[in-house]
Structures are given as C-alpha cells and as structure tokens.
Amino acid sequence: MVINEIAHHSGVSVPSVTRLARKLGYGGFMDFRVSLASGASSVKSESTLPISADDTDDLLIQKLMVGHMSAIESTLRVLDTERLSNLADDILSCRRLVWFGVGSCSKLSSIFSDALCRMGLDSVVISDRALLRLYSDRLHEGDMAIAITRTGKTQRTLEAIRTAKENGAKTALISNLANSPGEQYSDYFFCTSRQDELYRISGYETFSSICALLETLLTLVERKRGFESKAQFLDLMTSQK
C-alpha cells in the first residue's frame, strides 16, 4: 500500500503514518516501506543511500528506482488534489492553452500538449525566447498558460508566466522548487519532489514526479471531458499521430 491507503485503512492522517515510521527509527515512510519489503533488519537501507562508484549495477538500479518512487510519493503527500481538479476544469474551459518551457521542459510539455490537441483542445508549446515574449503578450482573459521549470528559476519561463498573468490569463506553474519566485504569478502552483529524494541519491533533478503529475492531470481532463469508452481513452493516450 501507498501511504495514503495505509492512513485511510488505519483511520489516521497521512502525517501520523510518517511520524510512526520515524518513531520506529526510519527516515520516513518510504525508508520503512523499502526496509519492510526487503526483509532488512537494519533501519538504514543501502538502496536509500547516495550513488557510489563502488555500487554494483543491481544496487545502482535499486537506488534510482527507489528514488523515483520516493519522489512521486513525496509529491502526493503535499499535493492539493482539489486544486489539481480545478486546474483540469480551467483547461477544459479556456479558449486556448499555451505551455511555456525551455530545453527538456519544452519536450516534456509537447507530449502532453499533443494529447490535449487530440482531445480537440487548442494547445501549443512555446520555448523560443522571442516567441515566449510574443505569446505571453497575446494571452488575455479566457486564455491559460502552464509553465514547467524543474529548477523553478528559469528566467525566460518565469517572465512569460508573469506577463500572461498581468494580461489577465489564468496561469499554472509546475516546479521542483518549493519557493519558486514564479509562484506569485500563478493561479495554480504545484511543487513536485526532488530535494530529499532522487536528488539526494543521484545528484540530479528528476522528471519523475512532474511526469506523474501531468499524466494525472491529463487523465482528469479526459475524464471530465467525457470519453466514451476505455478503449477510446487508451487510443487517445497512446496515439502517435
């Protein structure tokens, strides 16, 4: 079970489960879960330690996979599910949706923008510096902008979301940085986990929790839009056209 399921079936809050794991001597619920699953008697698990040059391939894989799992689980613990649902509603009702992101964030945005286009929504990804300025100026009331920046400090992306907000568009920001300066320009701000999870283990930021959040958002949008069948929904989500 994930932490939310344990809390639900136990009749307690999610923080209570975390506190119990820590009282038992673990760093958190994920540390306890991994140790329990592996049958380890030690509080500290090798798979939760930072990557080392001496790691075997098997241990390296375990560390990375546990890191990804932990990052997603940490994101879920702080996720405002009602706000995510509201964001899906606004996506469905907006006149046009523009994604802001540069580098790998623009590539990630394209995957989900394309899926929304297949749903019949007007969605486009902008990553070029000049076009970021141009499109952010063109967005007004009835439009929506979603910005993705792993670091939370990408200046071009933050400037675009700020301009869109000032012009009256609805805005959303997804970042791995809890105190991103772009939060003040966002109607919706979602912080995904990396700092104490995969980042600590591998030394680099992950897209795992951002991808999980966006896939969840996409499913919410499609569900609210009203797909006719499971087969139709799967075809939409996996189509390469």
When pLDDT is cut at 50, 70 and 90, the band that residue 142 belongs to is very high
Give the per-residue pLDDT at 54. 84
Q: Are 229 and 93 in contact (CB under 8 A)?
A: no
| pLDDT tens readout for residues 14-48 | 889 988 988 887 888 887 877 776 655 444 466 66
The first and second tokens of residue 46, run together, are: 């090798």
Rounded Cα gap, residues 180 and 80, in angstroms? 17
The top-level CATH class assigned to 82-238 is alpha beta
pLDDT at 136 (0 to 100): 94
Comparing 51 with 143, the larger pLDDT belongs to 143
Q: How much is the pLDDT for 202?
A: 60
Q: Is the pLDDT of residue 111 over 90?
A: yes
Task: Give me the chain's average pLDDT, please.
Answer: 85
pLDDT of residue 241: 45
* Spans of all domains in the chain: 3-78, 82-238
What pLDDT does residue 27 have? 80
- Return all residues near 111 (Cβ < 8 A) that are at least 6 apart: none
Residue 151, pLDDT score: 85
**Residue 143 phi, psi dihedral angles, 5° rounding:** -100, 165
Contact 112, 121 (CB under 8 A): no
User: What digits encode the pLDDT tens for the residues 39-51?
Assistant: 554 444 666 677 7
pLDDT tens, position by position, 168-189: 999 999 998 888 999 999 999 9
Amino acid in position 109:
S
Which one, of 71, 50, 104, 77, lies nearest residue 194 by Cα? 71
Between strands 188-191 and 96-100, the pairing is: unpaired
Confidence bin at 75 (pLDDT 50/70/90) = confident
Please write the tens of the pLDDT for every residue from 197-236.
455 566 666 788 899 999 999 999 999 988 655 566 666 6
Question: Cα(63)–Cα(97) distance, rounded to whole angstroms?
Answer: 37
In the chain, % of residues over pLDDT 70: 83
pLDDT at 230: 59
Where are any strands of DSSP class E within 4-163?
96-100, 123-126, 143-149
What integer pLDDT is reported at residue 11 of this predicted model? 92
